[in-house]
A and B are shown apart, each in its own frame.
Chain A
């Protein structure tokens, strides 16, 4: 068995930022990730990021990742790669399978879960055919493994993920036949849709895929128009020849470990569904478990990094490495920055949802306090 003060599960932007803050404060940190390389989603993001200058905007995601890695190396943060956290017991005991070949138990005083998210699927007849995949999977193939999943791609979903991956597929040399959106309005940032449009990719709003055809691989899809109540309109079917179908239909927080740990959950559709309730220190409802990043609601790398810092600082504070007053001042600064990221046409809804989660956590805390009294 291995003992550590702080174990962090998931080395994406949230986990790395948390590790850096906590280690810098002096805490003993063990960072665990199932991949052979840390960075989470960042190394797939070859595009320049949005955000403010203080969030490294204008820098390509992968370079932000490299920067975080450099810092974590300089601080000598102990990192287990190829380490799958398979379970959590008694609130502080992690079961880690290392290199797929041995089981290890890690006992940590505090745990930060920063496990990110999984892609949502949309079923239609034929979606089990090879060639149908998540947009994130296609992105991993082109940007990490350097393999083109196909030559003629159709993208289902026009949110930022769909549009960015479509752009990167074009850059990788594929043809993007169309981007479909079930809603009557496109979801992604206008500047992203505009650059894909300029490249000649047609967008179809109020459309979805009815079925995919092919014998041992996708060869074509039938698309169909949707009415105002998202019902398929008969007679509007059209067949498009494609060899790859990418699904970019949202993400769901990867919360399995938080459920196992007994964290209380709430359901917030804007942030991706069921997610662990947390307070303004990123504390879950379990005393020694913090959460940060996409697990606490699907957002962006910039917000994930800020939430990671919050969790890292407050975990280090509870371990006695940062004075509570200092932790509070620094947390407040981070909240200012989070609030500015969560504003405007796209961000305000997320901000309102986050406020509702914080309220839930306060209600719970006062409820439990009342029970004790």
Chain B
């Protein structure tokens, strides 16, 4: 496998675009959808059961790559905390004229608070732009995987996937 995942640790956009679960540019910008960055055959399938709409399929063979049916996905977010690989997030390009929305899994303390300004980062943890925390969801059923929702400038739509860890000094 050539490319970035096995040398830098994170998948490149090229690798993602070539994987079965990643949306096309058109699907990506249509409205809120779940995006799965799981491009290696590993024995894993909790994402499939997490989606009550049946939008995610792994299939009989549990090492198959997950696929997602964007017609069925309503961006409810139930799959985000269910994925042990923290590989699923939701993005919405249509949130406002200039701002996009991102809901992603986060397992560090302290958690950010709604209203906080945070540093949005790319797949290598590089600072890209500031974002604002809209919501922090951490119900018991998530089993300590909080789901953070931020808004950020939509010119960085595809790059941003997470935020910098908040370090108490």
Contacts and interface: CB of A to CB of B under 8 A. Distances in A.
A and B touch in the complex (CB under 8 A): yes
A204 B5 CA distance: 12
Contacts of B8: 197, 203
Given A171-B108, A191-B42, A198-B124, A48 B84 contact: yes
Contact of B46 (A57, A63, A198, A200): A57
A191 B6 contact: no
Given A53-B45, A53-B46, A340 B6 contact: no
A153 interface: no
A340 B43 contact: yes
A185 B8 CA distance: 9
Given A50-B84, A171-B108, A199 B6 contact: no
Contact of B41 (A195, A340, A345): A345
A265 B121 CA distance: 50
9 contacts: A49-B84, A53-B46, A186-B9, A200-B164, A201-B125, A341-B43, A344-B41, A345-B41, A345-B63
A170 B45 contact: no
B5 to A, nearest CB: 5
Nearest to B60: A340
Interface in A327-373: 340-341, 343-347
B85 A195 contact: yes
Interface string A190-208: 1111111111110101000
B61 A190 contact: no
Interface of A: 47-53, 57-60, 63, 158, 170-171, 173, 179, 184-186, 189-201, 203, 205, 302, 340-341, 343-347
B17 interface: no
A167 B21 CA distance: 25
B55 interface: no
Across the A-B interface, the 6 shortest Cβ-Cβ residue pairs: A200-B125, A344-B63, A191-B85, A48-B84, A197-B9, A58-B46
A229 B124 CA distance: 28
Interface in B29-45: 37-45
Contact of B10 (A60, A173, A185, A198): A198
Contacts of B143: 48, 59-60, 63
B149 interface: no
Nearest to A206: B7
A50 B10 contact: no
Contact of A347 (B43, B108, B121, B164): B43
Nearest to A189: B42
B10 to A, nearest CB: 4
Contacts of A302: 43
Contacts of A47: 84
B11 interface: yes
**Most chain A CB inside 10 Å of its own CB: which residue of B1, B9, B44, B62:** B9
B124 A197 contact: yes
Contacts of A193: 5, 9-10
A48 B161 CA distance: 20
B126 interface: yes
A190 B11 CA distance: 8
A58 B165 contact: no
Contacts of A194: 5, 9-11, 37, 85, 87, 123
Given A198-B123, A199-B125, A189 B85 contact: yes
